[in-house]
Structure 1
Amino acid sequence: MQGFEARFHDGVTARVEPVRLVPPLGGQGAIEILASDDASRDRWPVETLYTVPTRKGTLRLGSTARPAGARLEVTGKAEVQRLLDLLPGIGHRRTADRRRQLGVIGLATAALGSLIIAYVVGVPLLARNIVGLVPAAWEESLGATVAVQIEQALSQGAGFAVCDPDPQSLANRAIARFAHSVAAGTGTPFSPRISVIRSDIPNAFALPGGQAYYFSALLDRTSSADEFAGVLAHELGHVVYRHGLEGLVSTSATGLLIGFVLGDLTGLSIAGGLGSALIDTRFSREAEREADRFALDAARRLGFRPAGLADLLDRISEDDRMSRALALLSTHPLSEERRAALEDMDSGGETLSPAFTPIEWQAIKSMCAEAEGPRSSVSIGERPGSQSRQRDLVPLETAP
């Protein structure tokens, strides 16, 4: 009796047996599985057969009436085609299986494409729309929580050292006055608070709710009042446009998309990352452009040179270590386009209305030259409005 040489897995043991297959006449009935001595090893009903993906030139069959791991394998292109000709139903099912597989791949590709589009287009749009619905008090509370975590991460648990904790000092009063002038008329619900922190990290950044920091290592590299004013105005732009909260919302939305793909929609994987998101996340290039434009508008209103920001960024960009640390350069390098935009409003003449008087600027430059200030690890995390928080930060209410 003519048959087909094959390999047989019973799906129960790991044994692989050489067998001979004898298909039924007319393709109906059951396929006989004969051992090497022609003894019947098993019979698989044709209607239960299905194909299993395998390498080219091999036909692998399974049966819905047998254990999930049971398999029959026939090798050789000619032999496979001859068996399929005798069992045409298997060929039809094999074609249908391939179509289903291609359909699944197509759906998966379409789903992945949709997620990518949602990430690139939908997440930023969603974040911006949601931010407008968040109460200012809630954002301030969130910002205080994030501030504690950032402080602990950047200071290795020691707490930030405020260079000048006296809100009535000349330097702090000048900074508060400048922040008040920059924020005036913008409609922001926040009263910006700026702290100059003793740190070897050359950075400046803003948090949700109005808190901003200027690190002493960056202050040391700041050579003019216009440069200092440009950076502060840029960071206050992030506050006014609520970029910090927008970044957190985007991080959460991205987490939801990843959770959808991985099947984790409990939110546990997202909640744990919010506190540290602003440590690792840099603002998008569009957010940086908005902050640049805000700084330019502030320079026009207050009369200081907008190119001061470009001068500082240009100088720092020559130092790879410092440019990597500075958030203003990490995702938005000082390209010719960006520098041209920053210099666009610069008349090239002298500053008409200095952001800070020479005495004020000298006081600001020397803020961190005095004896080391107290750590702020206790007060910085307290709710806005507490006495200890107001002592270490620089509220606008102290401006003259």
Structure 2
Amino acid sequence: MTETQTRAAAFADFVAGERAVLTRVSVCLLAEGLELAQPDGQSVIWRWAELRAEPDQADKDALVISRSGDKVARLYLRDKNVKAQVRTRAPHLKKRDRAISVPKLVTWAGGAAASVAAIIFVLVPMMAAQLAVLLPPEGEKALGDTTFEQIRMALDETGLAGAAICEAPAGNAAMQAMYDRLNPASDLPYDIQIHILDHDMVNAFALPGGRIVFFRGLIEQAENPEEVAAVLAHEIGHVVNRDPTRDALRSAGSLGVLGLLFGDFAGGTIALFLANQLINASYSQSAEAVADDYAHELLDKAGVSPAALGTMFERLLAEHGDAEGIVAHFMSHPQMGERIAAAQAAVVEGQTYGSILEADAWRSLQTVCGGTSAVQSDQDLPDKKPWPGDD
């Protein structure tokens, strides 16, 4: 022992932190601090300035001491004299060390945010792109079927039966005739199904497995069947390129990651968000450009002016602005003006373009949901109205 060391003042229980095992140690009071002597003869000095009292301990009889800089080791003092000496000599006993420095906390938080962002914006899209190709047709169709029903329920304010599917035979036959006229040549392992929902939203979108959904509002807003055909051709382009499947997998993956972080994993909110995401699908600019090019070619081969792809959106933008419906969806892309211009530029000079539907068929399509307000007068019917590029 040194001259500054007193006799062994007491015994205490020590936990090093690696394991939840109490070790009986001898505690000696020194001028510079507490000396802890282990049973194996090793000793260490905890200096007075380093001692910190741990608050809110269940053991009320013991003074639980930790050491500044050591977050796991604990010393349990029960001897009244030693506890009194510690309280007297330790100048920073009640000081609370900052567990993590602010710069380090900011660094960790930034790293965590960057990791989540990398998962959502890099890893998940990469995996979705691979899975969209590898997913078997049965799985793709099942995903589309399930999502279609979720969307119908999400659009029904009553929450009972889902948004109604418009089933007027003549109107659906007109939509099918429009599809047959476009005659998309593809090697898809499933047939394309077109549905019209009785909802006033001005929109249309594609789902995995070959489903294309129109809303009544879009058909009512169209001035002629060529505008509807242009939207149909664009959505067919998305189906052919598997964009809906890729986007659904990406959205589900991203929402799953967020669900793990914030709760409600695979819950109702996740399903609702996924339905909303697919209704307002925002594909990449490259995907939109590819679908546009596909539509231009499809329309031209069918004898329909490719300018129809941009005309409806341009007119709706002028009438309604970019606040809602398909206008908000399509105008959300920064280069929408270029896409409209590209549709007009796709018109082949000297090519003769005509109507894609007869007047009676167009009337049937406008009333496919049972309404009559959208039917136009004879002078506004497509066979009376020329399109850009017509001779």
**Is 2:168 the counterpart of 1:165?**
yes
* Structure-1 separation of matches of 2:358 and 2:64: 94
Contact 1:163 1:196 in 2 (8 A): yes
Alignment map for 1:107-122 (pairs within 5 Å): 109-122=110-123
Q: 1:367 to 1:30 in 2, by over 3 A?
A: closer
1:64 to 74, 83, 86: 74
**Is 2:225 the counterpart of 1:225?**
yes
Superposed CA deviations along residues 35-76 of structure 1, whole A, max 9, x for unmatched, are xxxxxxx9999xx62159xxxxxxxx9973259xx996499x
* Structure-2 separation of matches of 1:317 and 1:154: 24
Alignment map for 1:206-245 (pairs within 5 Å): 206-245=206-245
Provide the identity percentage: 24
* Structure-1 separation of matches of 2:261 and 2:317: 39
Question: Which letter maps to 2:168?
Answer: P
SS across alignment from 1:212: strand
Aligned to 1:16: none
Aligned length: 305
**Is 2:68 the counterpart of 1:50?**
yes
* Structure-2 separation of matches of 1:225 and 1:365: 9
Deviation for aligned residue 1:255: 3.4
Contact 1:183 1:240 in 2 (8 A): no
Deviation for aligned residue 1:298: 1.3
- Higher mean Cα deviation, 192-201 or 225-234? 192-201
* Structure-1 separation of matches of 2:201 and 2:176: 23
**Is 2:19 the counterpart of 1:24?**
no
Aligned to 2:265: 269
Q: Which runs of 5+ in 1 are unaligned?
A: 1-21, 34-41, 53-60, 81-93, 373-400
Contact 1:324 1:330 in 2 (8 A): no
SS across alignment from 1:364: helix
Deviation for aligned residue 1:345: 0.5
Instruction: Quote the RMSD (CA, aligned, Å).
Output: 4.2
* Structure-2 separation of matches of 1:240 and 1:101: 51
Q: 1:162 to 1:113 in 2, by over 3 A?
A: closer
Deviation for aligned residue 1:239: 2.2
SS across alignment from 1:269: coil
SS across alignment from 1:65: strand
* Structure-2 separation of matches of 1:238 and 1:335: 17
Contact 1:248 1:274 in 2 (8 A): no
Q: 1:249 to 1:334 in 2, by over 3 A?
A: same
Contact 1:149 1:276 in 2 (8 A): no
* Structure-1 separation of matches of 2:206 and 2:357: 21
Question: Which letter maps to 2:48?
Answer: I
Aligned to 2:137: 136
Question: Which letter maps to 1:129?
Answer: Q
* Structure-2 separation of matches of 1:344 and 1:164: 37
Contact 1:30 1:43 in 2 (8 A): no
Higher RCO (C-alpha 8 Å, min separation 6)? 1
Deviation for aligned residue 1:162: 4.2
Aligned to 1:187: 187
* Structure-1 separation of matches of 2:151 and 2:68: 58
Q: 1:200 to 1:174 in 2, by over 3 A?
A: closer
Superposed CA deviations along residues 130-179 of structure 1, whole A, max 9, x for unmatched, are 0111121222222222222211221333444444432xx3x433421332
Q: 1:102 to 1:347 in 2, by over 3 A?
A: same
Contact 2:63 2:76 in 1 (8 A): no
| TM-score, reference length from structure 2 | 0.63
Question: Which letter maps to 1:228?
Answer: V
SS across alignment from 1:318: helix
Aligned to 1:356: 357
* Structure-2 separation of matches of 1:292 and 1:146: 25
Question: Which letter maps to 1:24?
Answer: A
* Structure-1 separation of matches of 2:164 and 2:256: 37
Q: 1:204 to 1:120 in 2, by over 3 A?
A: same
* Structure-1 separation of matches of 2:204 and 2:46: 79
Deviation for aligned residue 1:269: 0.4
Question: Which letter maps to 1:214?
Answer: F
Deviation for aligned residue 1:370: 5.3
| TM-score, reference length from structure 1 | 0.62
1:283 to 281, 284, 294: 281
* Structure-1 separation of matches of 2:364 and 2:335: 29
* Structure-2 separation of matches of 1:158 and 1:321: 32
* Structure-1 separation of matches of 2:31 and 2:194: 86
Q: 1:49 to 1:370 in 2, by over 3 A?
A: closer
